[in-house]
Structure 1
Amino acid sequence: VTTVRGLGQFIDAHHVRVEETSGSGQDKTGAAKVVKFKSAIIAAGSQAVHLPFFPKDERIVDSIGALELKAVPKKMLIVGGGIIGLEMGTVYSTLGARLDVVEMLPTLMTGADRDLVKVWQKFNAHRFDNIMLNTKTVAAEAKADGIWVTFEGEGAPSAPQRYDLVLQAVGRTPNGKKIGAENAGVIVGDRGFIPVDVQMRTNVPSVFAIGDIVGQPMLAHKAVHEGHVAAEVCAGEILGDDKLKKSQFDARVIPSVAYTDPEVAWVGLTEDEAKAKGIAIEKGLFPWTASGRAIANGRDEGFTKLIFDAETHRILGGGIVGTHAGDMIGEIALAIEMGADMVDIGKTIHPHPTLGESLGMAAEVAHGTCTDVPPPRKAR
């Protein structure tokens, strides 16, 4: 394997020109190299969106800058109520910062079921001075004593607010328009995404693409599996291996995790989506107040929820809120991939006492056979 470090631009469908760099940043050395390839995989990723009205100031950071902790701010604003902002807010709050969060949508952590988020929000209420929903950030001014930010909307304060640190966490934009893809004939969408087929191949047969640059969700674990597919197809074509050449990305579901405290994880169909689409479901919810392990840990605020098809009883999705939720969500993803039903999951023996056994318990709740929680009251 030959590694060439630098800034790459396609010349055509079989050549890339690389301006070599050195040091810890992107300092160009002045040297350039042309690399010829039979197949190429674009994995150029994405970068954080920067709002145009924010001035350039070291006290205004994105998710990367937030990791370069120079001092703990007394007052911090998180612009964007999604996963990244709330994760970073958890870290800074634990270190002592007071938090405000502003979100233009009516809810935090969009994508997860509201009942999951409510548990997280109640547990973390002490971290926040203000949660401004249905509110936009419209202006910012850097002064000696801090960053003064102006808001508009339902939760907006009447006057600009001062912050020691502002985190921009309003999403990411793909780098599709920064690599000269058009020189290779590769189609790039208006927003910078590169369309691919199930083999991760672009419209140009010799060029593949994976990761953030091919579309949502922008998650590392999705990108890794896409990378495997692209590499296998490329290897199969070079080696003449028909099995590798037929490799496809055919995941049914991709789990999402908010690494907050408590963690929030979900996969597949959510209960909110089912209601919006009119899909008939059966739900099994196991509260961690009935989990011996959660009680012993002193962290029984969470729950495990499984969503099943009302007719076939096969699992469609699930969500977990609580400590180590992200470590357990993979079992639900596997169950969906395998087409498991509530009996399959409920009769799988989970070790006791663990948090993971809440998955089996939730399936039993849906099936009506769980002896670890009181039966639901029948409507009169």
Structure 2
Amino acid sequence: MDLTMHSSVVVLGGGPGGYAAAFLAADEGLEVTIVEAEPRLGGTCLLRGCIPSKALLHVAKVISEVEELKKDWGIEYEGAPKINVDTVRARKEKVISNLTGGLANLAKRRGVKIIQARGSFVGSNELKLEGDHDSIPEDGKLTFDHCVLATGSVPAMPPSFDIGSDRLMDSTGALNLADIPETLLVIGGGYIGLEMGTVYANLGSKVSVVELAEGLLPGADRDLVKPLAKRVDTMCGGRVYLNTKVGSVCEVDDQIEVTFEGPNKFGHERFDRVLVSVGRRPVTRGLGLENTKVVVNSRGFVECDNQQRTADPSIFAIGDVAGDPMLAHKATHEGRVAAEVIAGKKVSFDKIAIPAVVFTDPEIAWAGITEEEAKREGRKVTVEVYPWAASGRAQALNLTNGLTKWLVDPETNRVVGCGIVGTGAGELIAEAVLAIEMGCEVTDITESVHPHPTLSETLMNAGEVYFGTATEIFKPKKKAASA
């Protein structure tokens, strides 16, 4: 008698893409099993990424706002805030626990089986399961009709930085919040490094940032980055080193000694802790993919089409393993596409605008085509900017360093891109995503009544700038083209 366990659909990985695929497949009436090495569902995003970092960023934001009240509004508090690291860490863990517990309950109610194991392919329709959890079948095998590969990504760690010291951290180590170091160096000026640098700076660390490129957040439009770069420079006390390479790192006397090679920073300096944040790599190694027909490209991503199908008819790929951008919300939508395709529906992943958000202070968000992309591709767009200094709501909140901009196709008047920098940008960008996906023209934005006074008005106002009709700023109307 064959005792090998079989499931119609197996999802390898229990992150945002994985559990979204599993839950929708179950809702479609399919038999579903999630294979996840962690004891809890949620993946990187929930366990050691998006959610815990945003919980800590909330703490940092409140501390920053209290300081602003003291400085600019005449509100007086006695003494400096005292940070109880154990309580902060416990609160962060409570948020994670609440959410993972909810996922486990949802899986149970949907009849989704969860196997806690490390899964690897022995063929196109079979996984080998490793671990010691009692959910693993006795023979350690799981066969399937379809598998959704959702193994995500891990922090990249250059071999020269991997010195075996817990004082040299990746993003996971930084989120563990072992202590508040007196000095912290962030290697990498991308969104993860800047977010975690913001957390530690507001908790009391003396933070420095080193970036190999000529500016922070490479790839984002410079006008969006400028207000943040100014804030980061102030936060770090001028210790932001651009165009600078880290030559070597080593542990010396309970500190990390770092060698710098750059125009404004050269030589050695020691730090209590160092955060290495130089990107992420997809988890495709060690999965036995060579035993399937799945194709992995030179960057480690699985090649798949817009229905998330790989070169192996039985295997789909979603999320970080399926290519850039490595974003949880992209993974979720791809997971749902894969589930519906497996269920026999004619769907595809055809999103025009996948929003990106940097949860720093100020936040940066964009969707659709960026100004940098338009320049590279030689695409003609009209860029219209509305400065938050003209917004009554921004003035009341002392948030005048923000801006909202639309990128418009001048031939059709359709909005094709949007960028926002300022508090709440991550919330505001959703309107732009909908507008771009719906193929809205600028008038669809300007003729929609926005509540006053709000920051959401700046989306309408930026559209009015396009026509030269913005009330709070003066920009002459465009002249009609001569016959």
TM over 0.5: yes
| Residue 283 of structure 1: how far off its partner (Å) | 2.0
| Partner residue, 2:321 | 213
> Residues 364 and 92 from structure 1, CA distance in 2 versus in 1: closer, same or farther, beyond 3 angstroms?
same
Q: Determine whether 1:13 maps to 2:113.
A: no
- Aligned to 2:202, which of 72, 86, 94? 94
| Partner residue, 2:76 | none
| Partner residue, 1:333 | 433
Which amino acid in structure 2 is aligned with residue 143 of structure 1? V
| Residue 92 of structure 1: how far off its partner (Å) | 0.6
> Residues 346 and 21 from structure 1, CA distance in 2 versus in 1: closer, same or farther, beyond 3 angstroms?
farther
Mean CA deviation greater in 43-52 or 283-292:
283-292
SS state of the match for residue 247, structure 1?
coil
Say if 2:233 and 2:239, in contact at 8 Å, map to a contact too: no
SS state of the match for residue 64, structure 1?
helix
| Residue 364 of structure 1: how far off its partner (Å) | 0.5
| Partner residue, 1:140 | 249
Which amino acid in structure 1 is aligned with residue 121 of structure 2? F
> Residues 42 and 107 from structure 1, CA distance in 2 versus in 1: closer, same or farther, beyond 3 angstroms?
same
| Partner residue, 1:53 | 160
Which amino acid in structure 2 is aligned with residue 208 of structure 1? F
SS state of the match for residue 198, structure 1?
coil
| Partner residue, 1:164 | 272
* d(CA) in 2 for partners of 1:271, 1:170: 24
| Partner residue, 2:3 | none
Say if 1:4 and 1:20, in contact at 8 Å, map to a contact too: no
> Residues 185 and 374 from structure 1, CA distance in 2 versus in 1: closer, same or farther, beyond 3 angstroms?
same
| Partner residue, 2:150 | 43
| Partner residue, 1:241 | none
| Partner residue, 2:342 | 234
* d(CA) in 1 for partners of 2:199, 2:136: 37
1:192-232 CA deviation, whole Å, 9 max, x = no partner? Answer: 21000111010011100100001100000000000000011
Unmatched segments (≥5 aa) in structure 2: 1-111, 479-483
> Residues 144 and 31 from structure 1, CA distance in 2 versus in 1: closer, same or farther, beyond 3 angstroms?
farther
> Residues 161 and 319 from structure 1, CA distance in 2 versus in 1: closer, same or farther, beyond 3 angstroms?
same
Which amino acid in structure 2 is aligned with residue 42 of structure 1? L
Alignment of 1:13-32 (within 5 A): 13-21=124-132
Q: Which is helix-richer, 1 or 2?
A: 2
| Partner residue, 1:319 | 419
Mean CA deviation greater in 227-236 or 117-126:
117-126
> Residues 14 and 74 from structure 1, CA distance in 2 versus in 1: closer, same or farther, beyond 3 angstroms?
same
1:118-142 CA deviation, whole Å, 9 max, x = no partner? Answer: 1111223221142121211110110
1:102-159 CA deviation, whole Å, 9 max, x = no partner? Answer: 11111111121101111111223221142121211110110124100012233332x2
Say if 1:306 and 1:362, in contact at 8 Å, map to a contact too: yes
| Residue 281 of structure 1: how far off its partner (Å) | 2.1
| Residue 250 of structure 1: how far off its partner (Å) | 0.4
| Partner residue, 2:470 | 370
Give the alignment's TM-score, normalised by structure 1.
0.92
* d(CA) in 1 for partners of 2:138, 2:276: 35
Tell me the matched-pair count.
365
* d(CA) in 2 for partners of 1:107, 1:253: 25
- Aligned to 1:260, which of 353, 360, 373? 360
| Partner residue, 1:115 | 223
| Residue 22 of structure 1: how far off its partner (Å) | 5.1
- Aligned to 1:131, which of 196, 218, 240? 240
Which amino acid in structure 2 is aligned with residue 212 of structure 1? D
Which amino acid in structure 1 is aligned with residue 253 of structure 2? A
* d(CA) in 1 for partners of 2:182, 2:477: 48
SS state of the match for residue 178, structure 1?
coil
SS state of the match for residue 265, structure 1?
strand
SS state of the match for residue 249, structure 1?
coil
Say if 2:169 and 2:274, in contact at 8 Å, map to a contact too: yes
Say if 2:409 and 2:416, in contact at 8 Å, map to a contact too: yes
SS state of the match for residue 65, structure 1?
helix
| Residue 32 of structure 1: how far off its partner (Å) | 5.8
| Partner residue, 1:149 | 258
Say if 2:468 and 2:477, in contact at 8 Å, map to a contact too: no
| Residue 307 of structure 1: how far off its partner (Å) | 0.8
Unmatched segments (≥5 aa) in structure 1: 237-243
Say if 1:343 and 1:367, in contact at 8 Å, map to a contact too: no
Mean CA deviation greater in 87-96 or 181-190:
181-190
| Residue 98 of structure 1: how far off its partner (Å) | 1.5
> Residues 192 and 92 from structure 1, CA distance in 2 versus in 1: closer, same or farther, beyond 3 angstroms?
same
4+ residue runs over 6 A deviation:
28-31
> Residues 347 and 90 from structure 1, CA distance in 2 versus in 1: closer, same or farther, beyond 3 angstroms?
same
- Aligned to 1:3, which of 105, 114, 136? 114
